[in-house]
């Protein structure tokens, strides 16, 4: 059974960089059938797609976040990562990682990241 687990700081200061890692177990991140993605959800609001990455390193980003986002992949350690720079309070959200095939079937449990000084 595939499992995804987000990890990283729960509190980030304004203007700093948010960094999260998604560790994949029970399957290979190098599986050519799938993309790996990040999605976020501000408290009480809807889902926002952040971006996807393929095992080869090809990335696709939400145009509204593209200037601040970097998603990378480490196939040796079976994990992928998110960096979001110059954060503000508007970036406070639950951040999910997920596997994209036809839709996102497997999700992590999500991790709340709060942007506050």
Partner 1 sequence: EIVLTQSPATLSLSPGERATLSCGASQSVISGYLAWYQQKPGLAPRLLIYDISTRATGIPDRFRGSGSGTDFTLTISRLEPEDFAVYYCQHYGTSSYTFGQGTKLEIK
Distance CA 105, CA 28 (A): 15
* CB of 27 vs partner 1, minimal distance in Å: 15
* Residue 112 DSSP SS3: strand
24 binds partner 1 (CB under 8 A): no
Token digits for 38? 């990040």
Q: Is 48 in the site for partner 1 (CB under 8 A)?
A: yes
- Alpha-carbon distance 87 to 95, whole Å? 14
> Any contact of residue 55 with partner 1 (CB under 8 A)?
no
> 11-12 and 111-115 as β-strands: parallel, antiparallel, unpaired?
parallel
Q: To the nearest whole angstrom, how small is the minimum distance from the Cβ of residue 65 to partner 1?
A: 12
Beta carbon nearer to partner 1, 9 or 101: 101
Which positions touch partner 1 (CB under 8 A)?
37, 39, 46-49, 52, 60, 62-63, 96, 98, 100, 102-105, 107-110
């Amino acid at each position: 059974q595939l499992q995804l687990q987000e990890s990283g700081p729960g509190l980030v200061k304004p203007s700093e960089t948010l960094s999260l890692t998604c560790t994949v177990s029970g399957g290979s991140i190098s599986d050519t059938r799938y993309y790996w993605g990040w999605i976020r959800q501000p408290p009480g609001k809807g889902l926002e797609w952040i971006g996807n990455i393929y095992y080869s390193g090809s990335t696709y980003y939400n145009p509204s976040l593209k200037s601040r986002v970097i998603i990378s992949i480490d196939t040796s350690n079976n994990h992928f990562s998110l960096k979001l720079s110059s954060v503000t309070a508007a970036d406070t959200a639950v951040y999910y990682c997920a596997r994209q095939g036809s839709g996102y079937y497997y999700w992590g449990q999500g991790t709340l990241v709060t942007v506050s000084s």
